[in-house]
Structure 1
Amino acid sequence: MNIRRATAAVALAGATALALTLTGCSGTSASAKDGKLDVVASFYPLEYATEQIGGAHVHVTDLTPPGTEPHDLELAPRQVAAVHSADLVVYLKGLQPTVDQAVAQGGPAHTAEVTSYAPLEDHGTEVDGAAENHARTADGRAGDPHVWLDPERYAKIARGIGDQLAKADPAHAADYRAGADRFTARLGALDKEFRTGLTGCRAKTFVTSHAAFGYLAESYGLDQIAINGVDPESEPTPARMTEIQDQAREHGVTTVFFESLVSPKLARTIAGDLHLKTAVLDPLEGVKDPAKDDYFSVMRRNLANLRTALGCSR
């Protein structure tokens, strides 16, 4: 087991015990304080969608701090207590095991588990079969959890979140459904931008440091070559590094992409060996500065970087 995940599992046991005490003496929830629905989201894409759909009716707490890689989140006792007492918890089962355990142990009033709205697929992007703690497909295979990077799948998640907000707060159900309509319309427009922008490209293969872009590649007719697996902490073998270099040469790759929340060392090593450029392709698991960037601005930056790397003419 990944050492950080093992540590997180041990920490959760103590955090849960303390959280039960905190829940019992923490006073009223946010919903009781200010009339807003108290929602806990496990990481940025789910927080963002919930805020956009819920608007003024919701108070959303993100368990994963800005700029933090979410895969190995460790919950503090007050975060566990927040999960237990929330009106609604929005999470992706299998991505953050401590969140799954807190939900199972605490029994929040309502949950929106987003793989029930956008089922996971196996994109075959694990490194050395390291899938012990990963999210799973419906038939138990290791699944790629990065569904939000496909705007169409993200829209399905948004609809599901809107439905659960309406169930948790029926008095504002019409507003939540209207919020979901507005948000999914924006995602539909973004999807059209990607389809148009990634048409007529010289190449369709890209190399990335983290196997996060399988859904995006599938949706827009691209091929992803990943250095690391779905878990960005996984490490490729020397044989895998050689294979990546051979594939990059074969497909005329010009750019090796890395991301902002994990080390770019391997990506830069491969790019240096092959005399290629490097650029950022952001998996949007977290945003360093939400005041400056959001899902749409980062996705449009991803599109611009892909167009440059793939030689797209339109």
Structure 2
Amino acid sequence: NPHLWYKPETMPAVVKAVAASLSKLDPAHAAFFKANVQKFDASLKPWYAAIASFKAQYPHTPVAVTEPVADYMLQAAGCDLKTPWNLQAAIMNGTDPAPQDVSIQNHLFKNHQVKVFLYNQQVTDSLTASFLNNAKAAHIPVVGVYETMPTGYTYQSWMLAEVNALRAAVEHGTSTTVLK
């Protein structure tokens, strides 16, 4: 599930499990593995701080999405996901969404009911492109999200860049369709 990248609890649990397995295979280096878990956990603190800061400053920020790629991060940041779940699931699964869900999404843009639109850069089609165009026409900032890590990033810098792009969209109306 590529969406788990965005869940703040996921990678620390994975790193801890890997270190435990490696420690069983190579007990002589268990302290080394444990130290690297602590180093990794510490490397996530800027991301956690950015999420907490956003949540404190912009609680319940209404957002729309194409699909649930970044939903875990958005929930951790206290955002109010306005896109119907059935629409997100249909886009994610490549099935036809219900017309009423498409209509709800379009109304979110037309009636300025969301402050940001998060758009999956890696899975696009004519429907998601129409949502992107509708958000832009309504002057709703767009934040590009990714299912897999974009080139030039570490996991930590990628996740932090996504939160920073969300903040820039809310604070300044800045669209970040491609991470820089």
Match of 1:266 among 127, 145, 154: 127
Q: Could you tell me how far 1:192 is from its partner in structure 2?
A: 1.1
| Aligned partner of residue 221 in structure 1, secondary structure | coil
Relative distance call for 1:151 and 1:158 in structure 2 (3 A) is: same
- Matched AA of 2:106: Q
Matched-pair contact (CA < 8 Å) for 1:166–1:176: yes
**Partner Cα separation in structure 2 for residue 187 and residue 238 of structure 1:** 40
Match of 2:106 among 217, 220, 245: 245
- Matched AA of 1:191: Y
The match for 2:149 is: 287
Relative distance call for 1:231 and 1:252 in structure 2 (3 A) is: closer
The match for 2:159 is: 299
**Partner Cα separation in structure 2 for residue 196 and residue 298 of structure 1:** 17
Identity across matched positions, percent: 20
Cα deviation digits, residues 109-132 of structure 1 (max 9, x gap): xxxxxxxxxxxxxxxxxxxxxxxx
Q: Could you tell me how far 1:288 is from its partner in structure 2?
A: 4.1
Relative distance call for 1:243 and 1:308 in structure 2 (3 A) is: same
Of structures 1 and 2, the larger Rg is shown by 1
Question: Where do 1:109-258 residues align within 5 Å?
Answer: 146-201=3-58, 204-224=61-81, 225=83, 227-229=87-89, 231-248=92-109, 252-258=113-119
5+ long unaligned stretches in structure 2: 173-180
Q: Which has the higher helix share?
A: 2
TM-score by length of 2: 0.74
| Aligned partner of residue 293 in structure 1, secondary structure | coil
The match for 2:176 is: none
What is the alpha-carbon root mean square deviation over aligned residues?
Answer: 2.9
Matched-pair contact (CA < 8 Å) for 1:208–1:257: yes
**Partner Cα separation in structure 1 for residue 104 and residue 40 of structure 2:** 41
Relative distance call for 1:174 and 1:258 in structure 2 (3 A) is: same
- Matched AA of 1:213: A
Greater relative contact order, per chain length (Cα 8 Å cut-off, separation 6+) = 2
- Matched AA of 1:246: H
**Partner Cα separation in structure 2 for residue 281 and residue 170 of structure 1:** 43
Question: Where do 1:56-135 residues align within 5 Å?
Answer: 95=1
The match for 1:4 is: none
| Aligned partner of residue 151 in structure 1, secondary structure | coil
Relative distance call for 1:202 and 1:176 in structure 2 (3 A) is: closer
TM-score by length of 1: 0.46
Matched-pair contact (CA < 8 Å) for 1:203–1:251: no
Matched-pair contact (CA < 8 Å) for 2:143–2:166: no
Relative distance call for 1:158 and 1:279 in structure 2 (3 A) is: same
| Aligned partner of residue 185 in structure 1, secondary structure | helix
Cα deviation digits, residues 210-231 of structure 1 (max 9, x gap): 2123322222211222643283
**Partner Cα separation in structure 2 for residue 264 and residue 279 of structure 1:** 16
**Partner Cα separation in structure 2 for residue 265 and residue 255 of structure 1:** 20
**Partner Cα separation in structure 2 for residue 155 and residue 235 of structure 1:** 36
| Aligned partner of residue 9 in structure 2, secondary structure | helix
**Partner Cα separation in structure 2 for residue 174 and residue 197 of structure 1:** 35
**Partner Cα separation in structure 2 for residue 239 and residue 172 of structure 1:** 57
Number of residue pairs the alignment of both structures matches: 167
Matched-pair contact (CA < 8 Å) for 2:70–2:145: no
Matched-pair contact (CA < 8 Å) for 1:203–1:252: no
**Partner Cα separation in structure 1 for residue 134 and residue 144 of structure 2:** 20
| Aligned partner of residue 18 in structure 2, secondary structure | helix
